[in-house]
Every structure is written in structure tokens, then in C-alpha cells.
Amino acid sequence: SMSCLLTPFVYLWLGREFLLDDIVVVTLVLGFYVLMINSIPSSYRTAMGLFKEARFAPLYAAIINIAFGIIGAIYLELPGVFIATVIARLFTYCIIDPYFVYRKGFDKSPKSYYGRFIVWMVLLFASYFISHLIIDWVRISGLLGLIFDAVISILSFNVIFLAVYGKTTEMKLAVNRIRKNILHK
């Protein structure tokens, strides 16, 4: 939703001169997503006191970020720098934090987490592309267009995720919990 709504929002708010290229917006949103998706494993690792195990992660991330940032800046300019940050986080924190949480904290293999992580990323991209296709196909300007874009991006994301996760035990538990909270209030 952010990647579909930021540009029209900035256009309405500040005007055309403050707009960024779509690739810059997408890479910034992707960087935010990768940062946020790893906040839970990172919090678990911190709460479990697994500091020593991940002590080199920031160093690895910095090396990867600098190397890919230089290459990205040369070939892709500003988006290349943001892509480098995404790559650095994906190949360090998004691997290291879940690994130690599962291995040391839960005494389990992290493979199931990595599999779900990949599925989440695929669903995220599918939602983005479907939203973007519909929004580009039905171009509406102004505040009404921003509202339309928001509805389309929210609907496409939720329809895709419900189609994939609607029948899972976790979804049924979440729906029951929401129902209880609504009925209780």
C-alpha cells in the first residue's frame, strides 16, 4: 500500500516537484519492509540474550552495504544505494537473527521460518504488482484517486493473503480472537 500511495499522496500534498521516481519509492518501501519484518526475530534474539552469537552481523551488513552501495550507485544511482541496504539486511540480519532464535532459543531448525519468509516476500510482490496494474489501468486523479488507490491496494493485499492463509489454523485462531474481542466490547 505504501508503494502505491506515497507518490499520489506527495503529489497532492506538495506537488510534482517533490516526487521521486517509482523505483526509488519502491526500494525505500522495500527497505522499510525488510527492517520491520525482521524486528520480531531481532527482538526475540535480544530478549533471549543472544548477543555474542550475532556480534558480527553489523560488520557483515556494513561490508555488504558499502560494497553493493558503491556498485549500485555507479550503475543505478540513488535506487542502487537503497537496494544495497535491502540486500545487506536480507543477507545478514534476516538470516542471522532467525537462525539463532530458532537454533539456540527454540532448539529447532529455522527452515520453516525461512520458507514462510520467502512466501511472504512473494505475496508482497504479487500484491504490489496486482495493485499497481489495477491503479495504472484505472487512473483517477486528485483526492478521489488517492482514496481509490488505497482501497485497491488494501483489497488486493487482503484478498491475496486470505486466499493463501484463510484456511490455516493461525487464521482461524486470529478470527476467533477478533470475534471474541468485538463481541466482548
Query: In this model, does residue 185 exceed pLDDT 70?
Result: no
- Which of 155, 121, 142, 131 shows the shortest CA–CA distance to 22? 131
Compute the residue count for the chain.
185
Report yes or no on whether pTM surpasses 0.75: yes
Q: In the prediction, which pLDDT does 41 show?
A: 95
Residue 171, pLDDT above cutoff 70: yes
DSSP string, 116-161: HHHHHHHHHHHHHHHHHHHHHHS---HHHHHHHHHHHHHHHHHHHH
* Average of per-residue pLDDT values in the chain: 93
- Residue 184 — pLDDT band, cuts 50, 70, 90? confident
d(CA 137, CA 172): 35
- pLDDT, average across residues 1-8: 92
